[in-house]
Structure 1
């Protein structure tokens, strides 16, 4: 491969715009999440649990594409903040179930304005464009995880 090979130019990388956009978008979440005492990864876990409480660590990991080694510190911090409880399953001691505490459930109401705040940052995009973009990114995820 020669030094002049265009495939190695940053502007020609598919991954870089996704990486940069992801970092900038997650940065936009920082302030509203700090008000709740959450980091972005913690927020993602809470979103999953607000949708369906009582999932196992592995179920949460599957939804977030995270292994238990990466997810465990996030869960420990949420537990230290009294937003969740971790319990060994009665049916299978190898499984750890995650349950929202009352403060964790109450946090959902405080988090309700966050999606609208983020959506307002994307006001130059039409609703159809955002929907199509999400479909395309999900297709990319499905393609790459196989």
Structure 2
């Protein structure tokens, strides 16, 4: 394990050199852009991510959805209950294994996608970057996450 402080410039411990803060602050900035867009849908950002995952693939298990969103079931379950109360999803026990809960989109949840279709474009526009640049940046962030997760398992 390295004992060097987290930094982007070797030998520097200046606040502005910390990549963790840059990523953290960018996340907050993204949330500020998303909030008014999601308010029109009546969704929080985590609820929106769950809906996007379900629009991509309906009928997912709670466990599978949690893995995809990097959320523990203790965080995901209340979020899903709120989406169910709003009428966007149904939680059902699997017919093959009663311990497994399957999440399915309701008709209202399917229709909600039509209202949300413009959100990604708004985020691209707000970023001031083109889609190719954001795709490259996303790939770099995912690679960073995977490297950090891998290094965290060797502690």
TM-score by length of 2: 0.85
Which blocks of at least 5 consecutive residues in structure 2 are unaligned?
Answer: 4-10, 151-155
Tell me whether 1:36 sits opposite 2:44 in the alignment: no
Partner of 2:27: 22
Q: Deviations over 1:104-123 (max 9, x none)?
A: 01000010011111111112
Tell me whether 1:145 sits opposite 2:141 in the alignment: no
Q: For residue 6 of structure 1, report the CA deviation from its aligned partner.
A: 4.6
Tell me whether 1:58 sits opposite 2:58 in the alignment: no
Question: CA separation in 1, counterparts of 2:75 and 2:126?
Answer: 29
Partner of 1:11: 16
Tell me whether 1:86 sits opposite 2:115 in the alignment: no
Q: For residue 11 of structure 1, report the CA deviation from its aligned partner.
A: 1.8
Q: Deviations over 1:113-145 (max 9, x none)?
A: 11111111112x244322221110010121122
Matched positions, count: 141
Check 1:126–1:105 CA distance in 2 against 1; reply closer, same or farther (3 A cut).
closer
Candidates 115, 123, 143, aligned match of 1:118: 123
CA contact (8 A) 2:92 2:102 kept: yes
Partner of 1:130: 134
For 1:72-83, list aligned pairs within 5 A: 72-83=77-88
Alpha-carbon RMSD across the aligned residues, in angstroms, is 1.6
Which blocks of at least 5 consecutive residues in structure 1 are unaligned?
Answer: none
Report SS of the residue matched to 2:102.
Answer: strand
Question: CA separation in 2, counterparts of 1:77 and 1:138?
Answer: 29
Q: Deviations over 1:68-103 (max 9, x none)?
A: 011111101101101001011111111110000110
Question: CA separation in 2, counterparts of 1:31 and 1:131?
Answer: 24
